[in-house]
């Protein structure tokens, strides 16, 4: 009897979880960048979309960035996985999609990885990109910089000659043991170098074209808002600013759609 009750309770919990997932209201896939939270600059939207298109043209990998105003009571892992499946990112036979999701209100983010890329963009590498490249920017309220750094890190792992793609088992046999360590070191260097390069670019820009930003109070502390953000984006958590109404909240592409891929929950999450 106890076993029966436990089984019924387990099935009921699973059913409720499934219903909760199906109840989520996902944004439509309007392009390679879906900025529903309206926290990315138009320049970053177009730049990321262009990089994503180039990656897909060369390798077939679909890389999509999404920001959402709310996780609707769900955890970031469930929402990202269900959104990935709803959009069917990646090719159907290869499941080679990647989703970078940012939820500003909940202060959460996740890199969701398709089945076919879990051996390449591993959980460990995704976690490194999240904590080492993206989170430092988001802690400063710099969404655009965080997404740029995250895309740079992901590209460092994924951007390669498509002729070099082979099953991971074959790669393991053909390379010495230390090869994987050098790959990880290269990715780590690329991630942190990319973040440092973005910092230097902003610094030089401020020196050559000095403009005055301002400070705003966020969660009991003062946060500096640079001019490029104060004039347009909502650069800090809970900010009231927004881009001009003439700018789209997504990088729209009428002929863009998912390829039928899926994800099994691989990737990494972060918060700040």
Whether 120 contacts 157, CB under 8 Å: yes
Whether 107 contacts 130, CB under 8 Å: no
- 57 to each of 49, 51, 201, 238, 255, how far by Cα in Å? 12, 10, 28, 37, 14
Residue 235 reports pLDDT greater than 50: no
pLDDT score of 205: 56
Whether 146 contacts 125, CB under 8 Å: no
pLDDT score of 87: 96
pLDDT score of 158: 85
Residue 196 reports pLDDT greater than 50: yes
**Strands 97-103 and 62-67, bridge-based pairing:** parallel
pLDDT score of 143: 97
CB atoms within 10 A of CB 180: 13
pLDDT score of 11: 53
Pick the closest to residue 36 from 143, 136, 125 (CA basis).
Answer: 143
pLDDT score of 74: 95
Q: At 198, which helix (H) or strand (E)?
A: helix 178-208
Whether 155 contacts 51, CB under 8 Å: yes
Using one digit for the tens of pLDDT, what is the confidence trace for 140-179?
999 999 999 999 999 999 875 444 444 333 343 444 555 5
Least confident of 176-185, 242-251, 261-270: 242-251
Using one digit for the tens of pLDDT, what is the confidence trace for 248-267?
455 555 578 888 999 989 99
pTM beyond 0.85: the answer is no
How far apart, in whole angstroms, are the C-alpha atoms of residue 208 and residue 216?
A: 24
Pick the closest to residue 260 from 91, 61, 27 (CA basis).
Answer: 91
Of 48-62, 194-208, 213-227, 233-247, the range with the highest mean pLDDT is: 48-62
Least confident of 103-112, 136-145, 187-196: 187-196
**What mean pLDDT is reported for the chain?**
74
Round to the nearest angstrom and report the end-to-end CA distance of the chain: 46
At 234 the three-state DSSP class reads coil
CATH class held by domain 25-266: alpha beta
pLDDT score of 51: 94
Name which residue leads in pLDDT, 162 or 43: 43
pLDDT-above-70 percentage for the chain: 57
How far apart, in whole angstroms, are the C-alpha atoms of residue 124 and residue 121?
A: 8
pLDDT score of 204: 60
Residue 70: pLDDT band by 50, 70, 90 thresholds? Answer: very high
């Amino acid at each position: 009897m106890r076993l029966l009750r436990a089984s019924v309770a387990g099935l009921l919990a699973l059913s409720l979880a499934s219903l909760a997932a199906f109840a989520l209201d996902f944004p439509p896939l309007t392009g390679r960048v879906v900025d529903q939270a309206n926290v990315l600059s138009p320049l970053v939207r177009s730049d990321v979309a262009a990089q994503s298109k180039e990656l897909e043209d060369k390798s077939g990998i679909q890389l999509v960035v999404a920001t959402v105003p709310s996780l609707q009571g769900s955890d970031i892992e469930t929402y990202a996985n269900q959104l990935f499946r709803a959009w069917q990112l990646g090719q159907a036979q290869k499941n080679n999609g990647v989703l970078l999701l940012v939820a500003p209100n909940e202060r959460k983010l996740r890199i969701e990885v398709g089945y076919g890329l879990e051996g390449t963009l591993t959980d460990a590498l995704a976690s490194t990109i999240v904590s080492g490249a993206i989170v430092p920017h988001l802690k400063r309220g710099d969404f655009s910089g965080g997404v740029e750094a995250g895309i740079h890190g992901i590209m460092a792992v994924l951007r390669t000659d498509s002729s070099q793609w082979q099953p991971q088992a074959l790669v393991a046999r053909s390379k010495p043991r230390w090869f994987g360590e050098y790959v990880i070191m290269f990715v780590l260097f690329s991630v942190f170098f990319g973040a440092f390069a973005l910092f230097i670019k902003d610094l030089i820009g401020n020196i050559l074209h000095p403009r005055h930003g301002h400070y705003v109070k966020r969660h009991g502390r003062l946060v500096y808002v640079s001019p490029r953000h104060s004039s347009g984006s909502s650069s800090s958590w809970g900010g009231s600013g927004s881009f001009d109404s003439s700018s789209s909240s997504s990088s729209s592409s009428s002929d863009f759609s998912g390829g039928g891929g899926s994800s099994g929950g691989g990737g990494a999450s972060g918060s700040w």
